[in-house]
Amino acid sequence: MPDVKKILVIGSGAIKVAEAAEFDYSGSQALKAFREEGIETVLVNPNIATIQTSKLLADKVYFVPIQRRFLVEVIERERPDAVACGFGGQTALSACVDLHDSGALGKYGVKVVGTPVSGIKRALSRDLFQKAMREVGIPIPPSAAAKTPEEALETARAIGYPVVVRVSFNLGGAGAFVARSEAELKARVYKAFAQSAIGEVLVEKYLEGWKEVEFEVVRDAYDNVAAVVCMENVDPMGVHTGDSIVVAPCLTLTDEEYQKARNISIGVAKAIELVGEGNVQVAVNHAGPEQYAIETNPRMSRSSALASKASGYPLAYIAAKLALGYRLDEVLNQVTKRTVAAFEPALDYIVVKHPRWEHDRFGISEGLGPEMMSIGEAMGIGRSLEEAWQKAVRMIDIGEPGLVGGRMFKELTPEEARRCLAEYKPYWPICVAKAMYLGASVDEVYSYVKADRFFLRAIQRVVEAYKALERGEYDIEELKVLGFSDRQIAEALGRGEDEVRRMRRRPAVKKIDTLAGEWPAETNYLYLTYGGVYDDEETPTDFLVVGAGVFRIGVSVEFDWSTVNLAQELRNRGFKVGILNYNPETVSTDWDVVDKLYFDEITRERIVDIAEKEGGVTVVLYAGGQIGQRLYKELEAAGVKIGGTRPRSIDMAEDRGKFSELLEKLGVRQPPWFAARSIEEAVKLAEDLGYPVLVRPSYVLGGTYMAVAYNKEELVGFLKRAAKISGEHPAVVSKFMPRGVEAEVDAVSDGVKLVATPIEHIEPPGVHSGDSTMVLPPRRLEEWAVKKMAEAVHRIARELEVKGPLNVQFIVYDDVYIIEANLRVSRSMPFVSKATGINYMSLVADVLVNGKLAVDEEVVTLRPSKWWVKSPQFSWSRLRGAYPRLGPVMYSTGEVASNGAVFEEALLKSWLSATPNKIPTRNALVYTYDRHHAELLAQAASLLSTRFQVYTPEDLGEEAAEMLKWRKIDMVMTAGDTPDRDFHIRRTAADTNTPLVLDSTLALELAKAFLWYYNNGKLEAAPW
């Protein structure tokens, strides 16, 4: 039916704040939908950790930057007849518009499928959007676009404060803020302009306390349309949807309000000529009938991924079909397989999406607002609001067992709780719970937090139940319906979790079938709930692969890749496989990829519930990263069958003391370390060790989990400032070797044999491995070191009888030293798998199924035939108020990778794939206030100065920040952790999207690569 033969799909690149795995999910679905039609697919996405960058999903994959010159080269090579712009987030959409406007699409005869570029522009430019809305009579909030800060001030005066300022052509609301006075507006308006690609902002009436709802709209080219899901923000207008707690279906709207908002959404979709899927945000007055259209995204978004998972309606798949020209009533509902896609799902459950923030880690103190800052999200499903909400709080994995009863809940003082509400801090529901626990009424809370009382009352009910529980008056069934976990109840009662387990009945397994049971559905999408007693029947599975849970710094799409790939490899071997996970962004929570999806908590309680339902299922804990590691002991004790490496071995690797003993026995070295129970002891033992040392407290205040100390003063200063140190909470202090090379080995073992890939880092020890640039094959390491590393890993694998993946980190200095070993998948395994062509999860599946690796040699060391480099992606520009830096704590949010015939090419293509990196052509600012980095940065500066002006902040004085603001500086290279000296410079660089290099070794490597490039080095867009 479609006349498309070959289609270019543009991905979203690295994971960053506001662009995460949801685009892996939507891209994967689109590729599947295109492929079903026999269309050849070409995917451009340098995010190597994604599932979509797989030869099984796309016919051709390009790991190159999503920039015009590379995209044009791909088009030239591949000659696709169409391009799909709506599946790679704002990144892809902007790239598409740019390709169109530059004439490249016209030149090569590539047509845009789905929403036309004219419609995309109408949706993205505030100005065009408002004009379009006025034309069709859809109400919008009073507002005006401004092209200069002065104009913005004038407009605000005319509209009246408070106002909200939004940036045109941005993503995730970057640069947006609320100003309550002219002074507040003046202070922040310049940054907003800096973040707009077209130098335009919108000043708009701030609708304080209004509700914000969002409809996901699907529309075909013949104007058949459905508003598939209504989602309601628990947070009022003014908080970015990505930072809001969101419920589905919409809970507080009357039918009249619901239909009005739906009509507006459909009207907006028509006005922007939507073909495919888009979302529309609508502001709903909480005290009157007014509603306004706020904004629209003419593409798959974070919300549409959430909506797909919330409703069971596969929006991206349907959108892809509609883009090809299918009618909405021609496409089958993929859940029921019996009904068509032209319908609006009926939900017989409640979902609550909860964001996870990392404000402590980044030293951010600001409250929530119109700019998205959350790092991850989780979705709880239940049949009561309280059940779904408490599940969601547990799922974001901040240590709280629900809305009540956790460490944060208990430690909040009345004053802290009040301030948390007044400043509208992350995790405000816990503060609400505490305030209510201390006696605050719903109305008192509402005076701070303008969430609908309907939601505040849900918290109140949980608090009341908790207080009764503390008094020993409780109804176990009612507590479970309100979403209390066994542990939460047990702690309040001072009893054991197992005791509570015996007191309660089993939860019911329910299906998500899009039609609330009205029609038979062949769905395998499940959750557990106490809001019911009867199971929807299901057949048992052989394996349950436990996913990665909520994304956080250090856990991202790479662990979703392992989860999905392992599940698929097991399926390929003829087994029935289920996945347990709860992150709505991901491919692993796509019911399409497994035999059965449990969308539920990753806790001992839930896994035991599932294991009881499933009978003899084998639970695989090491594919989702760290979250599974914590569960080995508990699940083993509960009698759950665990696949792969034994719990005892996991414990040996996780426990520092036992691990050191093991290494000693194996004759493998490790940097000397000790555990100190007081500052005095730390100082004394550090003298013996010799400085510098790496300090890792077990009880952290604020966000600094680790630091390097070069002398006694730094050690004492850090321990006093950042940690609580005691016998109960010792600090681990280890010898630090800054001049070594950091390296790691990704391996799979069957307990006897080993397949291993050694990886080298560019950044020196002291920079977290997740923030390091990785190189394959090793470039600086000598042969003896590589060999010794592989041997060490082999010894560990044999001794611990590892049956599955493991990652071991090293420092290579005068000898090979082990920093740590993790007997689970690692962040780099998708990179290693794709670079070497050996899928590690296939190896792991062999071990799980056959008990052994299908290799002949004892140790197989893999080396790719090209150079491969993986670079971190930071989100500094989004994390307002954070000081950009590198150190032993991880800060990056994502990663990208590329390859090349020469190292420089691989490095540059990889580095350029992370935003906002660009090759500098004029002024650079190169400096450091850290003597350890001075020499390398001086070398980098001297190399660059052969091409253009290189400054230090001292050269420029006040001018430095001004030049950054006006984008007259192409690049900032610096290193060290000196916020007292250069917070302003680094922050301004981040706010203005100026490329920032934060390590001296990387700076020098990049400077060399730039020179290689200036001297006619070629960056080729070659397929994988």
Q: Between residues 132 and 227, which has the closer beta carbon with respect to another protein?
A: 227
Q: Hey, which residues between 34 and 63 contact another protein (CB under 8 A)?
A: none
Which of 136, 516, 701, 854 touches another protein by CB under 8 A?
A: 516
Which of 109, 139, 160, 520 touches another protein by CB under 8 A?
A: 520
Of 47-55, 91-99, 528-536, 543-551, the window that binds another protein (rule: CB under 8 A) is: 528-536
- When asked if residue 136 is in the footprint of another protein (CB under 8 A), the reply is no
Which of 196, 384, 390, 488 touches another protein by CB under 8 A?
A: 384
Which of 69, 519, 612, 661 touches another protein by CB under 8 A?
A: 519
Q: Between residues 46 and 531, which has the closer beta carbon with respect to another protein?
A: 531
Binding mask 759-798 for another protein (x = CB under 8 A): ----------------------------------------
- When asked if residue 536 is in the footprint of another protein (CB under 8 A), the reply is yes
Distances (CA, A) of 899 to 281, 771, 866: 41, 19, 7
Q: Between residues 384 and 809, which has the closer beta carbon with respect to another protein?
A: 384
- When asked if residue 476 is in the footprint of another protein (CB under 8 A), the reply is no
Q: Between residues 251 and 675, which has the closer beta carbon with respect to another protein?
A: 251
Q: For Cα atoms 137, 279, 118, give the angle at the middle one, nearest 5 degrees.
A: 65
CA atoms within 13 A on the CB side of 535: 13
H or E element at residue 126: helix 126-136
Rounded distance between C-alpha atoms, residue 152 and residue 165, angstroms: 9
Of 284-292, 570-578, 588-596, 882-890, the window that binds another protein (rule: CB under 8 A) is: 284-292
- When asked if residue 532 is in the footprint of another protein (CB under 8 A), the reply is yes
CA atoms within 13 A on the CB side of 69: 8
Which of 361, 383, 753, 824 touches another protein by CB under 8 A?
A: 383
Binding mask 431-470 for another protein (x = CB under 8 A): ---------------------xxx--x-------------
Rounded distance between C-alpha atoms, residue 857 and residue 440, angstroms: 68
Q: Between residues 338 and 658, which has the closer beta carbon with respect to another protein?
A: 338
Tell me how far, at minimum, the Cβ of 1010 lies from another protein, in Å.
56
Q: Between residues 218 and 774, which has the closer beta carbon with respect to another protein?
A: 218
Rounded distance between C-alpha atoms, residue 462 and residue 682, angstroms: 44
Strands, DSSP E only, in 611-740?
Answer: 618-620, 673-676, 693-697, 707-709, 731-735
Q: Between residues 255 and 958, which has the closer beta carbon with respect to another protein?
A: 255
Q: What DSSP character marks residue 593?
A: G
Q: Between residues 318 and 879, which has the closer beta carbon with respect to another protein?
A: 318
Q: Hey, which residues between 489 and 508 contact another protein (CB under 8 A)?
A: 508
Tell me how far, at minimum, the Cβ of 257 lies from another protein, in Å.
8
Rounded distance between C-alpha atoms, residue 262 and residue 1000, angstroms: 54
> Helix or strand or coil: residue 177?
strand
Q: Between residues 517 and 837, which has the closer beta carbon with respect to another protein?
A: 517
Q: How many residues does the chain have?
A: 1024
Binding mask 690-719 for another protein (x = CB under 8 A): ------------------------------
Q: Between residues 94 and 529, which has the closer beta carbon with respect to another protein?
A: 529
> How many C-beta atoms lie closer than 10 Å to residue 199's C-beta?
14
- When asked if residue 510 is in the footprint of another protein (CB under 8 A), the reply is yes
Helix axes 679-689, 712-722, angle to 10 degrees: 150
Q: Which residues contact 199 (CB under 8 A, 6 or more apart)?
A: 147, 193
| Assigned token pair, 673 | 């370390």
Q: Which residues contact 694 (CB under 8 A, 6 or more apart)?
A: 671, 706, 707, 708, 709, 733, 734, 735, 736, 766, 888
> Helix or strand or coil: residue 619?
strand
Q: Between residues 348 and 423, which has the closer beta carbon with respect to another protein?
A: 348
Tell me how far, at minimum, the Cβ of 129 lies from another protein, in Å.
24
Residue 37 backbone dihedrals phi, psi, to 5 degrees: -90, 5
Q: Between residues 286 and 795, which has the closer beta carbon with respect to another protein?
A: 286
The closest alpha carbon to 17, from 277, 300, 375, 494, belongs to 375
Tell me how far, at minimum, the Cβ of 134 lies from another protein, in Å.
22
Report the chain's terminal Cα–Cα distance, integer Å.
30
The β-bridge relationship of strands 924-926 and 693-697 is unpaired
Rounded distance between C-alpha atoms, residue 736 and residue 967, angstroms: 38
Binding mask 244-273 for another protein (x = CB under 8 A): -----xxxxxxxx-xx--xx----------
Tell me how far, at minimum, the Cβ of 447 lies from another protein, in Å.
16
Number of residues that bind another protein (CB under 8 A): 56
Q: Between residues 329 and 416, which has the closer beta carbon with respect to another protein?
A: 329
Rounded distance between C-alpha atoms, residue 644 and residue 637, angstroms: 16
Which of 109, 414, 496, 517 touches another protein by CB under 8 A?
A: 517
The β-bridge relationship of strands 693-697 and 618-620 is unpaired
Binding mask 308-347 for another protein (x = CB under 8 A): -------------------xxx--------xxx-xxxxxx
Are residues 500 and 486 in contact, defined by beta-carbon separation less than 8 angstroms?
A: yes
- Residues in the site for another protein, rule: CB under 8 A? 222-224, 226-227, 249-256, 258-259, 262-263, 286-288, 327-329, 338-340, 342-350, 383-385, 452-454, 457, 481, 508, 510, 515-520, 531-534, 536
